[in-house]
Amino acid sequence: MNEDKVTLSLSIDYLKHWTLNMALRELFQNAIDRQAQGEEYKMTWLYNPETSILVIKNRNTVIKRQSLALGKTSKDDDSTALGQFGEGYKLAMLILARNKHLVEVINGDELWTAGFSYSEMFETDMLYVMISKLSNKKVNHDIEFHVNGITQEEFDAYKMENLYLQRDYGKIDTENCEILTDSVNNGKIFIGGLYICPYHGNTLYGYNFEVGIFQLGRDRQMIDGYDASWQASKAVTDAILTKKEVLEQVIQAREVKMEDTRFLAQNANDVLTNAFWEVFSKEYPDCLPIKYSFDADELSKKYFDFKFHVVGEKQYDILVKSDGYEKLRKSLKKRPKPDSPLTIINRFYDDNVHIMSEELKKEYAKIIMVSAIDWKVVE
């Protein structure tokens, strides 16, 4: 049998922190990217617990040998592709082979097998791919990655990081993402169906964002927390318009710090703001929400009979955008503007001039009344 051995410039110790799940993610990313280019490239997968083999397949797809060179890719320029580095399947083979998982690739009419061999030049084991022709096989244009030695426990764990492997997971569709409603996905961030990282903090839901919304690094394990919270808050406010249960859960958690509702106020709609006001006004009738207790002192200087209740910043920012808040604020009775010091001095003079001596009148006018011209009311 003719075999070609292609040694890659990847040492056995490269990406030592990568796990089995990260390697499988790379293979699925490539398969998903290919499927996204047309139904004729449909991805399928099969896990057999009896043989412990996971197969990931794309129809009408083959990988050119030149893609084994670092920097080369079998992908066309495609901004919708989840992987942008063209290294995904090579890195996956490296990690899997290092962890004693036999990797076999049926690539059209060829069989590719990954392994390691010692390099005298580099004094370490280097990844190689052995390529051989498949005998007595009908030529096709499909590619299949066969990963051996995946236990049921390992596969079940990976399923939690891949929505394509989860059957009928709970979701709410919004413009740029799926809100994931199952408890097993709460607090998780997915992109294009594949797990990226957890939220660092409490959340109402998990999220599966569309590809292209976030800039990802090679490891695809982190996105900017601010950006994630902004996009999640936007998705939640969108869902509120059609899903009553989402609005109810947001209201129940209105006083809890949640990463996925962190920017609700900035994305708020009338349904959200008026629902918040309805709940607040029932609990605290005729009260104006304020953010800090010292705000009450300032408002009391401007209004009579001012009633208030301190709420959290997130809740406050939503309440002040409601119609109810605006109506109550306009109904408050304003205190009259205080008289100027000069007006008060003149009034005092007019009320008491009849009991003043001529000398006192002159001194009062020369000292008090003249000085009062520059006095100011401190509010």
Residue listed under structure tokens 């957890």:
198
CA distances from 223 to 70, 183, 197, 199, 270 (A): 25, 22, 8, 10, 30
Q: What is the DSSP letter of 262?
A: T
pLDDT at position 307, please? 87
Please report the pLDDT score of residue 85 as a whole number: 37
- First-to-last C-alpha distance (Å) of the chain: 95
Whether 191 and 208 have beta carbons less than 8 Å apart is answered as yes
Q: Which of 239, 246, 48 shows the shortest CA–CA distance to 148? A: 48
Q: Please state whether the predicted TM-score (pTM) of the whole model is above 0.85.
A: no
Mean pLDDT of 76-81: 44
Residue type at 112?
Answer: W
Task: Answer yes or no: are the C-beta atoms of 196 and 29 closer than 8 Å.
Answer: no
Residue 78 reports pLDDT greater than 50: no
**Mean per-residue pLDDT, 166-190:** 94
Q: What percent of the chain has pLDDT over 70?
A: 92
The type of residue at 82 is: L
DSSP 162: B
pLDDT band at 81 (very low <50, low <70, confident <90, very high): very low
Question: To the nearest 10°, the Cα dihedral for 75, 79, 83, 89?
Answer: -10
Q: Is 150 exposed, middle or buried (0-12, 13-18, 19+ CB in 10 A)?
A: buried
Contact, 87 vs 70, CB < 8 A?
yes
pLDDT at 83: 39
Residue 83 in tokens: 């992987």
Whether 377 has a pLDDT exceeding 80, the answer reads no
Confidence of residue 379 (pLDDT cuts 50, 70, 90): low
> What are the distances in angstroms from CA 3 to CA 105, 135, 158, 258, 318?
14, 12, 34, 57, 67
When mean pLDDT is compared across 2-6, 72-76, 123-127, 173-177, the lowest value belongs to 72-76
Q: Pick the closest to residue 166 from 179, 185, 187, 189 (CA basis).
A: 185
Query: What pLDDT score does 80 carry?
Result: 41
Q: Tell me what the pLDDT averaged over the chain comes to.
A: 89
Dist. CA 345–CA 160, nearest whole Å: 78
**Mean of pLDDT values over 320-338:** 87
The CA distance from 314 to 291, in Å, is: 9
pLDDT tens for each residue of 336-350: 777 788 888 888 988
Mean pLDDT, residues 126-150: 87
Measure the CA–CA gap between 341 and 373, rounded to whole angstroms.
8
**Is the pLDDT assigned to residue 115 strictly greater than 90?**
yes
Q: Is the pLDDT of residue 372 over 60?
A: yes
Model confidence at 129, pLDDT cuts 50, 70, 90, reads very high
pLDDT at 77 exceeding the cut of 60: no
Q: Which residue has the higher pLDDT, 230 or 307?
A: 230
Non-local (6+) Cβ contacts of 268 within 8 A are: 237, 318, 321
Q: For 266-315, write each residue's pLDDT tens digit.
A: 999 999 999 999 999 999 999 999 998 888 888 887 887 778 999 999 99
Q: pLDDT value at position 138?
A: 60
pLDDT at 188 over 50: yes
Nearest to 193 by CA among 149, 158, 224, 238: 158
Bridge-based pairing state of the strands 177-180 and 188-191 = unpaired
Cβ neighbors of 346 (< 8 A, separation 6 or more) are: 369
Q: Residue 74: is its pLDDT beyond 60?
A: no
